Structure 1
Amino acid sequence: MAIKLIAVDLDGTLLSSNNTILSETQRTLRIASEKRIKVVLATGRPLSGVLSYAQQLGLEGDKQYAIVFNGAVVQTISGRVLMSQELNYQDFNNMLRFQHLSHVNVHFETTKYFLTCDHDLSIQMQINAALTNNIMKVRERRDIPKNFTFNKVGFTSIAGSDQIEKLWNSLPSWAFDSYDIVRSWDSIIEINALGASKGNALMDLASRLKIAQKDVMVFGDQGNDISMFSNPEFMKVAMGNAIGDIKDKADYVTDDNDHNGIAKALKKFVL
């Protein structure tokens, strides 16, 4: 198998339950990179939430890449933007309408900061900002300028995941026709511009690098990875802790994120 690009989700995949890269997984990915296999981190996080892990894997500079915001942005590790899909002020107002369908928080993510109009922040929203080294700006709705743009929206709940479930079931059908909407965890709904997905971003990046899709291997575990697992050309590896939809679409199910699932699959198929 001539794998030339390995795309790796972060939370629940590359990262253990303690938000660390296990030493054997780190060592194996470094070996792959040394063999000139491109290692790309593909995540819902912004680049600021990727850099420390990229550094641990020896990925740096303008020739290494990250797919961030669930595929809305592709950047080099040094920060140069190759591709960006944004939402606008009309979308901002639509998101606030969706918020009223349930008791949830909503925050808007840009490449420079997170923003919310909520004053009582869910624990999950605060965790998201902290884990990605981001500033969470709290602003009044009237203070948001008409030229405001953002790359991703996150809905979290101050009242439990049942409110996220309620929102998921209450979103109008036109919303799914107008946006890319994923349930990244039971407690989080994420929304991007239509067509902005990890799968599409990865196809675009592979094309830029002149790598055939059949030479791409992907690792994932949650709903925001499904777009990568829907590509019949990619070699798809589900983590042992992955949701059923990911496992059903996978070519192989490896061990979980706390037992070096990535390393085991790479040793079996690539190295």
Structure 2
Amino acid sequence: MAIKMLAVDLDGTLLTSSKTISAGTIKALQEARNEGIKVVLATGRPLFGIEPYTEALGLKGADEYAILFNGAVAQNLNGDVLFSHDLDHGDFDTMVHMQRLADVNLNFETPQRFYTMDHKLSIRMSIDGAETRNQIWIQKREDFKRDFTFAKAGYMADDPDQVERLWNRLPEWFFQSYAVVRSWPEVIEVGSLEASKGLAVSELAARLGFSGSQVMIFGDQGNDRSMFEMADFKKVAMGNAIDEIKDMADYVTDTNDRDGIAKALRKLVL
């Protein structure tokens, strides 16, 4: 069955190492759009963190969509929310408690900004905020009101060993209660069990009238795993992907720095 929707991760997939989209990839995605194929960015970022890339691809308006915060939120590119799966103040308390297991920063991500209680920010958190165009607000614990909600939490550190320490110390019930992904060696992201890129892409595709077999996904890291777990999707791993993602893929293309998306589209779709 013909592909009708492309769900594309950003960092390490759509974006090169210099955080740009190559001319070859832009051209191939535009050709796909000209064939009537919907291009959807699926990312851990908020909407305003992907705007430079939607602009570069010519994506805009109420009929174009993005999967955000690793599937916690889906919006059209006018900013209207299609669906969301938020965490609440009780989850906030749980995240704070788990932070004590290692020397890591903790932030809480909302569509408006990042929040943290940490005054000493890692370079990794500062870079993450800058790359995703997020303001980082430092607040005291008592400033987080009982009605506070957030899309996902992030634990990060400059030392991957500290993130590994946290990963190994998180209790089993935590993994059973939340969608927990090791998106990078220095980052653990936590969202609602109902929030994953795979589930969100599937729900959006259904809303647009597409079956799972009409969806092709591209990814490279642990936070893309849920897309690769969806049985009907056509799954493409980047050449720079972690081995786990490559093993789950139907096809492994070239790297993000060598027009991997464009090469896969020309071989499999266009």
- Please indicate the TM-score interval, normalised by the length of the shorter structure: over 0.9
CA–CA distance in 1 between the matches of 2:101 and 2:191? 19
AA aligned to 2:125 is: M
CA–CA distance in 2 between the matches of 1:192 and 1:141? 20
SS at the partner of 2:256? coil
CA–CA distance in 2 between the matches of 1:222 and 1:258? 15
CA–CA distance in 2 between the matches of 1:79 and 1:124? 28
AA aligned to 2:93 is: N
Q: CA deviation at 1:157?
A: 1.0
Q: CA deviation at 1:27?
A: 0.8
The aligned counterpart of 1:187 is 186
The aligned counterpart of 2:200 is 201
Structure 1 residues 114-140: Cα deviation after superposition (integer angstroms, max 9, x where no partner): 100000001111111111111100001
SS at the partner of 1:226? helix
Structure 1 residues 7-29: Cα deviation after superposition (integer angstroms, max 9, x where no partner): 00000000000000011001110
The aligned counterpart of 1:123 is 123
Structure 1 residues 162-196: Cα deviation after superposition (integer angstroms, max 9, x where no partner): 00000000001110110000000011000001120
Structure 1 residues 74-102: Cα deviation after superposition (integer angstroms, max 9, x where no partner): 00011010011100111001001110000
The aligned counterpart of 1:31 is 31
Alignment of 1:1-271 (within 5 A): 2-158=2-158, 160-271=159-270
CA–CA distance in 1 between the matches of 2:203 and 2:28? 26
CA–CA distance in 1 between the matches of 2:60 and 2:142? 40
AA aligned to 2:130 is: A
SS at the partner of 2:137? strand
TM normalised by structure 1 equals 0.99
Structure 1 residues 194-240: Cα deviation after superposition (integer angstroms, max 9, x where no partner): 12000000010000000011010000000000000011100000000
CA–CA distance in 1 between the matches of 2:259 and 2:83? 31
Stretches of structure 1 lacking an aligned partner (at least 5 in a row): none
AA aligned to 1:30 is: Q
SS at the partner of 1:258? helix
Stretches of structure 2 lacking an aligned partner (at least 5 in a row): none
CA–CA distance in 1 between the matches of 2:143 and 2:262? 48
CA–CA distance in 2 between the matches of 1:146 and 1:128? 27
Q: How many positions carry a matched residue from both structures?
A: 270
AA aligned to 1:152 is: K
CA–CA distance in 2 between the matches of 1:10 and 1:244? 18
CA–CA distance in 2 between the matches of 1:155 and 1:220? 21
AA aligned to 2:89 is: Y
AA aligned to 2:87 is: L
Structure 1 residue ranges (4+ consecutive) displaced by more than 2 angstroms after TM superposition: none
CA–CA distance in 2 between the matches of 1:5 and 1:247? 21
CA–CA distance in 2 between the matches of 1:266 and 1:241? 17
AA aligned to 1:142 is: E
CA-based RMSD of the aligned residues comes to 0.7
CA–CA distance in 2 between the matches of 1:143 and 1:7? 37
